[in-house]
Amino acid sequence: MKVLVTGGLGTIGRPLVTSLDSAGHEVWFCDIRHDSNPHYSRCDIGEFRQLEDLVKRVRPELVYHLAAEFGRRNGEEFYESVWRTNAVGTKNVIRLQERNHFRLVVASSSEVYGEYSGPLVESLPDRRVLRQLNDYAISKWVNELQVLNSIERFRTETVRIRIFNTYGPGEYYSPYRSVACIFVYRALHNLPFDVYTKHRRTSTYIDDCIAAIVSIADHFKPGEVYNICGDETHTTKRLSDIVLKETGANRKLARYKQIEMFNSLVKRGDNRKAKRDLHWRPTIGLEEGIHRTVAWQQRVYQDSLKNQFKLSNQLKARRN
């Protein structure tokens, strides 16, 4: 199958491209940076002309639409970019789907469930009004409404996936990344981090996330929506405890607080539908996932860690 992946250089996009290629598909991908891969194109999905030209050249049968501005805090601080990329960019993809009749997988987020604290099943937004708590979450719900409107008006064939707290190798640190990435990076670099003890999350290791998404190509059911998440719902303190153990960092780096304002307390994902329809099972638990993430970050940031260790020794020598 000829497949196009938007956001193909991202944390999820890059391994998705590799896995789809390994599964035997002809894979093309785009992002906003330059890259030397012959199947890659630079394309800003917020610019219709660029995306239209790419679709004309590739003529995909299936598009995985992952390109987006990511993250709750990122959405608040850079809201212009979030709305241009997430809302206008997704509308551009859908308009081209309506014209070219490719199947589409749209990456949504667990954030669309907002402040609801019960089990998060896919049918929940159809049964009750949910209040999203930030612009990123709102933009992802807008994406889902855009998809549903297109299905109703043009009979387009689309699957929505709600991705839960995905983390692991390939996720480079910034203050806007996943909580697991932030905890690991800051613990390794001897930097403090905030742990909100009353918050609970369902995390997803990157390999499990990719396996579920790839499976959609062979088990595509138009109109469906799936939670992509692991089996375990854990406290952020449990996550912090594992990170501190794996990194050997000083436990005083964790600054314990109860609640982060304007953030949902509990995200308890229900993955039974994805297991059933996609013939998929998550295989990597939180402890093993953090172990692998720590090992990857140690390799990636080894130079900065060496410099930090050297500086620490120099400071100790001066004190003595």
Q: Is the dihedral of CA 68, 77, 175, 133 positive or negative?
A: negative
What does the chain come to in residues? 320
- The 10 Å Cβ neighbour count of residue 106 is 24
Please say whether the beta carbons of 120 and 267 come within 8 A.
yes
DSSP code, position 169: T
| 22 has pLDDT over 90 | yes
How much of the chain, in percent, has pLDDT values that exceed 70?
Answer: 95
pLDDT value of residue 90: 98
Structural domain contains residue 194 = yes
How far, in Å, CA of 180 to CA of 103, rounded?
A: 33
Structural domain contains residue 318 = no
Per-residue pLDDT band for 263 (boundaries 50, 70, 90) equals confident
Which has the minimum average pLDDT: 103-117, 224-238, 266-280, 304-318? 304-318
Per-residue pLDDT band for 262 (boundaries 50, 70, 90) equals confident
What does the pLDDT average to over 115-135?
93
What does the pLDDT average to over 135-143?
96
Angle in degrees, CA 200, 202, 203, rounded to 5: 120
Structural domain contains residue 125 = yes
| 320 has pLDDT over 70 | no
pLDDT value of residue 309: 52
pLDDT value of residue 74: 86
pLDDT value of residue 232: 93
Q: How does the average pLDDT of the chain come out, rounded?
A: 94
Please say whether the beta carbons of 237 and 40 come within 8 A.
no
State the CATH number of the domain containing residue 78: 3.40.50.720
Per-residue pLDDT band for 49 (boundaries 50, 70, 90) equals very high
Residue 194 belongs to domain spanning: 2-305
| 306 has pLDDT over 80 | no
Please say whether the beta carbons of 104 and 157 come within 8 A.
yes
Report the domain count for the chain: 1
Structural domain contains residue 56 = yes
Which has the minimum average pLDDT: 77-91, 211-225, 299-313? 299-313
Two tokens, residue 233 = 């719902």
Per-residue pLDDT band for 308 (boundaries 50, 70, 90) equals low
How far, in Å, CA of 312 to CA of 264, rounded?
A: 38
Two tokens, residue 275 = 């297991």
What does the pLDDT average to over 134-147?
96
Structural domain contains residue 316 = no
Per-residue pLDDT band for 310 (boundaries 50, 70, 90) equals low
Contacts of 299 (CB under 8 A, 6+ apart): none
Structural domain contains residue 219 = yes
Per-residue pLDDT band for 261 (boundaries 50, 70, 90) equals confident
Per-residue pLDDT band for 304 (boundaries 50, 70, 90) equals confident
pLDDT value of residue 51: 98
What does the pLDDT average to over 238-247?
98
Model pLDDT for residues 61-113, shown as the tens digit of each residue: 999 999 999 988 888 899 999 999 999 999 999 999 999 999 999 999 999 99
pLDDT value of residue 312: 53
Structural domain contains residue 311 = no
What does the pLDDT average to over 136-162?
98
Structural domain contains residue 320 = no
Per-residue CA distances from 219 to 208, 212, 215, 275, 279 (Å): 16, 10, 6, 11, 8
For the chain, the C-alpha Rg in angstroms (whole number) is: 20
